[in-house]
Structure 1
Amino acid sequence: MTQLHSGSAPDQRSSRPPLMERFSQTIVAWAEKWFPDAYVFVVIACAVVGLGAFVHSGNAVATSKAFGDGFWSLIPFTMQMAMVAVTGYVLAMSPPVAALLRRVAQIPKTAKGAVVFVGVLSILLSLVNWGVSLIFSGLLVREMARRKSLGLDYRAAGAAAYLGLGCGFTLGMSSSAAQLQATPASIPASLLPITGVIGFDQTILTWQNLVVIVLVTVVSAVICYVSAPSAKATRTAEDLGVDLNADQIEPVKRQRPGDFLEFSPILTIIVLVLALGWLWNAFRSGNPLITMSQLNTYNFVFLLLGLLLHWRPRSFLESFVKAMPSVGGVLLQFPFYGGIGYMLTKVVDAHGVTLSDEIAHVFVGLAHDSGVFSLLVSIYSAVLGFFIPSAGGKWIIEAPYIMTAANELKAHLGWTVMVYNIAETLPNFINPFWMLPLLGILKLKSKDLVGYTAVQFIIHTPIVFLAAALLMMTFTYHPPVMPTP
């Protein structure tokens, strides 16, 4: 009996999943049980920020007014984000792109390999355009999930599709802060004397940024591999009740003479001809990647591509209708973030100081050298990013005092922008703001993904904070460079 007992123990230990998988599955189980729906999450954030703004200002009316004034402030952005999801859906449901997705989905041979593949692809695509990363990666996961033999964990793969928004897009051409600082006409007049013009050669095109890109990509890929569940713990799309065929477009034939134009490419050709002049004017000067980073341009181009690839209006219209359920969370929740932003930046105390300013001054006032300053900027940007998940808009809020402090401490201005970029995306791992379009595509809730993205957050945060601070030491300070007349 003793021999049997001693011989069975190693088998029991060997059957246990690896440590990282057990760790990730513990967090996943916690998130599935306790993490609220994204709507509950945003209302809680409103309550926390509202209380903070009231305590800071002592003015309940001003706090309430700021919430109401800001509630609709993101309506243009809300519409843009909704169209990102819709146009991506429409494009992906066109016959040519659907065929491409099917081919790409066949590349991975194992379930864990598929999760890593999606994660790395998501990060690489986000360096060019975050919208492409979010939509293409999400639809690729759906296509992979149709491969029953793969045994893909739909939650882990969905979380991997989100990596471009969690640790990639502000390191590339999608960086709103880097784009703004490189474009003299876009820099606010009050900010220009502080920062000057900071070209891409001082931000996203530095070798230090390349080091960070490689670092976060490798770390993300490793986490994807070791945290993906074993076959026993895998939950497929079918297990989660997701119907992967619900958005398929069934071929429809013309039923009556009045349907002629709906099944003819004539109207498609007319729209495309009308758009050619605008497209030529938009892309004839400047970097096309930067041009495509403008949301209106991005959405217009994708809408036209969808129209072209569907060719006939009936197919295009049906795909558009199929895409609409994916934007429900965006339309409901984004206005609340507008209210949060106003409470942080518009409610002032007796001295005219906002809650955002107060928090920032505490962090910046603690800095003694560029390395410590880099670390504090990282912490502050990540904390504020949790409540204002908009990289470009938040940079306008932070830049005046952060860049002023950078000049005083002789910290490199370009890398200060990148420190902001590196840290700003981290809260996206646990804040469902940017996750909403992806959740609509995957037909999941935030609790299904956040267990895996939280693991990425926990491991990435100390690594990238330390890397940003150490790399700051490799730069030499240069005073602000004013634009030439």
Structure 2
Amino acid sequence: MTAIASKAPQGSFFWRLSKKFDFAAERVIPDPLVFCLIFTVVLFFCGVLLTDSSAIDMAQYWYDGIWSQIAFAFQMSFMVVCCAVAARSPQIAAGLNKLARLVRRPVSAVLMLMVFGYLASFVNWAFALIVTPVLAVALSKRIPGLHFPMLIAAGYSTMILGQCLSPTGTVFALLASPDHFLAGKIGAIAQTETTYNPANIVIWVVLAVITVAIAIMALPPAHEVVEFREETEARPEAEAGSAEQSGRSFADRLNGSRLLMWAIGVLGVVMIVNTVATKGLFSSLTLNFVIFVFLVLNFFLYSTPLKFITAYRDNLKLATDVMIQFPFYGGIAGMMAQSGMAVAVVGFFTSLATADTLPLYTYYATSFVNLFIPSQGGQWIVQGDITVDAALLLGADLNLVINAFVYGDQATNLLQPLYVIPALAVVGMRLKDVWGYMAFLWCIWFVVTSVALVLVPKFF
């Protein structure tokens, strides 16, 4: 990325405000790995000092938590690589360039990116997480004047907020099943009551519109724009292709076999179609299924085994941060959950609540706990029982409390760097490049959501 130097006005109020966050992030925010190491140390001592857990107990919780996330770490790493390989293919690049040609001005580009991000997130969060920054790159290459860090932060926010109205949201889907672990207390709750109740729809629309408006109003003046700069790196595909063409041996012909690629690709397509036909589209959209779709797509995008494996080798380095850091966050979640600190935090907030204010305090409690347990399903396992008990005891609107839980779980993903790491890896950015803008958006969400959770339900 490179800054455009010229004299220009200071920009809008929202741009100047966002710069204060960016200024702080540039000097304070370390590498994402340092984040999780600090969280680990802080939680370890808090557990020893504030709970009945001994130092050995906390160490054991940390150890157990690390290994509980190994499968998820591999899933996320594989997803990053598969999506990056697809996104960097000539065919996908050409398609995104055609989409980018539909807009010509920065405002239109921001609007397109965010609408695309919301729609993609409704389908699946992992799909939106990777494809949205890829579209941001395509737009930035074509349209001058786009501030790339803000574009990435705004696009990432659509993935987060989209989960609050998505039928594939973990908690919404879990509670709709008849055999979830709280079914004895509350039964199965249809998504028409949780995801799509009127109050939640209104709150979501308000937040979505405000986020888009802020992203547009916070566009910088020309002299402060930081544009996307593509790293130039050797692409051995041409060499691979020439090797295939010049190869005369049987092994060379196998390395250049299109038939093998098509055979595996067609087999994958059969399984994709069969899965959707059997389970339905939304029930099929698990993390494994999304990864598999991109894997199969790559068999068609890269026509020979040699080109295929070369593309994966070139992109494997993008998975480094994900592979290392996800297990560490598993250790953090293990300490938070098994020591009882998570339940204590939730209990403190719910003890302050009434029937009318429980959604608000649930939002606060969940936002805090999500900093240490950045998994909606895992957090619901820890927090769900006490949250439901409080709602039943106080006679609060359970559906709204569930909505507040989801908003809290998603909101602090703007502060917690775990899920933005894959998106940054795909576009080659550092956390400090975008964290200030993410924190800026979180502050706005915090105020708007707090007000909305109190006022909007009064109209329904």
Q: Normalising by structure 1, what TM-score?
A: 0.87
Query: 1: distance between equivalents of 2:393 and 2:177?
Result: 24
Query: 2: distance between equivalents of 1:114 and 1:280?
Result: 33
Alignment-derived partner of residue 3 in structure 2: none
| Cα displacement (A) at 1:31 | 0.8
Alignment-derived partner of residue 296 in structure 2: 304
Question: Does 2:231 correspond to 1:243?
Answer: yes
Alignment-derived partner of residue 483 in structure 1: none
| Cα displacement (A) at 1:277 | 5.3
| Cα displacement (A) at 1:158 | 1.6
Query: 2: distance between equivalents of 1:246 and 1:372?
Result: 57
Matches within 5 A, 1:84-123: 84-123=79-118
Moved more, 174-183 or 83-92: 83-92
Per-residue CA shift, 1:382-430, capped at 9, x if unaligned? Answer: 1111111111111111111101111122223333222111221111111
Query: 1: distance between equivalents of 2:53 and 2:195?
Result: 42
Question: Does 2:455 correspond to 1:470?
Answer: yes
| Cα displacement (A) at 1:363 | 1.1
Q: Identical aligned pairs, as a percentage?
A: 27
Amino acid aligned to 1:204: T
Alignment-derived partner of residue 355 in structure 1: 341
Query: 1: distance between equivalents of 2:64 and 2:455?
Result: 41
Query: 2: distance between equivalents of 1:244 and 1:26?
Result: 32
Question: Does 2:306 correspond to 1:314?
Answer: yes
Give aligned pairs, total: 447
Alignment-derived partner of residue 285 in structure 1: 278
Per-residue CA shift, 1:98-131, capped at 9, x if unaligned? Answer: 2111112223322344234323322231122111
Query: 1: distance between equivalents of 2:138 and 2:309?
Result: 22
Question: Does 2:27 correspond to 1:33?
Answer: yes
Query: 1: distance between equivalents of 2:309 and 2:232?
Result: 20
CA contact (8 A) 2:262 2:299 kept: no
| Cα displacement (A) at 1:248 | 8.8
CA contact (8 A) 1:95 1:310 kept: no
Query: 2: distance between equivalents of 1:276 and 1:30?
Result: 48
Alignment-derived partner of residue 5 in structure 2: none
Per-residue CA shift, 1:146-174, capped at 9, x if unaligned? Answer: 23x61322211121221123322232123
| Cα displacement (A) at 1:276 | 5.0
Alignment-derived partner of residue 482 in structure 1: none
Alignment-derived partner of residue 138 in structure 2: 143
Query: 1: distance between equivalents of 2:92 and 2:270?
Result: 25
- Closer, same or farther in 2 for the Cα pair 1:200/1:286, shift >3 Å? farther
Matches within 5 A, 1:372-411: 372-411=357-396
| Cα displacement (A) at 1:263 | 2.3
Per-residue CA shift, 1:55-92, capped at 9, x if unaligned? Answer: 12251110111111111210111111112211211222
CA contact (8 A) 1:25 1:229 kept: no
- Closer, same or farther in 2 for the Cα pair 1:134/1:339, shift >3 Å? same
Gaps of 5+ in 1: 1-13, 348-353, 476-485
Moved more, 208-217 or 294-303: 208-217
Gaps of 5+ in 2: 1-7
Tell me the SS of whatever aligns to 1:411.
coil
Amino acid aligned to 1:18: S
Query: 1: distance between equivalents of 2:109 and 2:149?
Result: 12
CA contact (8 A) 2:10 2:221 kept: no
Tell me the SS of whatever aligns to 2:223.
coil
Per-residue CA shift, 1:418-444, capped at 9, x if unaligned? Answer: 211122111111111000101101111
Query: 1: distance between equivalents of 2:237 and 2:213?
Result: 37
Indicate which of 206, 211, 223 corresponds to 2:197: 206
- The root-mean-square deviation of aligned C-alpha atoms, in Å, is 2.1
Question: Does 2:52 correspond to 1:57?
Answer: yes
Tell me the SS of whatever aligns to 1:162.
helix
Tell me the SS of whatever aligns to 2:33.
helix
Query: 2: distance between equivalents of 1:74 and 1:146?
Result: 37
Indicate which of 169, 174, 177 corresponds to 2:168: 174
Tell me the SS of whatever aligns to 1:461.
helix
Indicate which of 366, 369, 393 corresponds to 2:352: 366
Query: 1: distance between equivalents of 2:165 and 2:279?
Result: 20
- Closer, same or farther in 2 for the Cα pair 1:90/1:283, shift >3 Å? same
- Closer, same or farther in 2 for the Cα pair 1:270/1:295, shift >3 Å? same
- Closer, same or farther in 2 for the Cα pair 1:388/1:453, shift >3 Å? same
Tell me the SS of whatever aligns to 1:108.
coil
CA contact (8 A) 2:47 2:335 kept: yes
Query: 1: distance between equivalents of 2:155 and 2:47?
Result: 35
Per-residue CA shift, 1:21-44, capped at 9, x if unaligned? Answer: 111112112211221111111111
Moved more, 276-285 or 407-416: 276-285
Per-residue CA shift, 1:298-326, capped at 9, x if unaligned? Answer: 11122112212333323322222222122
Moved more, 152-161 or 196-205: 152-161
- Closer, same or farther in 2 for the Cα pair 1:424/1:181, shift >3 Å? same
Query: 2: distance between equivalents of 1:27 and 1:323?
Result: 32
Amino acid aligned to 1:15: P
Matches within 5 A, 1:180-191: 180-185=174-179, 187-188=180-181, 191=182
Amino acid aligned to 1:457: W
Alignment-derived partner of residue 350 in structure 1: none
Q: Normalising by structure 2, what TM-score?
A: 0.91
- Closer, same or farther in 2 for the Cα pair 1:446/1:340, shift >3 Å? same
Alignment-derived partner of residue 479 in structure 1: none
Tell me the SS of whatever aligns to 2:370.
helix
CA contact (8 A) 1:407 1:413 kept: yes
CA contact (8 A) 1:306 1:316 kept: yes
Alignment-derived partner of residue 4 in structure 2: none
Question: Does 2:157 correspond to 1:163?
Answer: yes
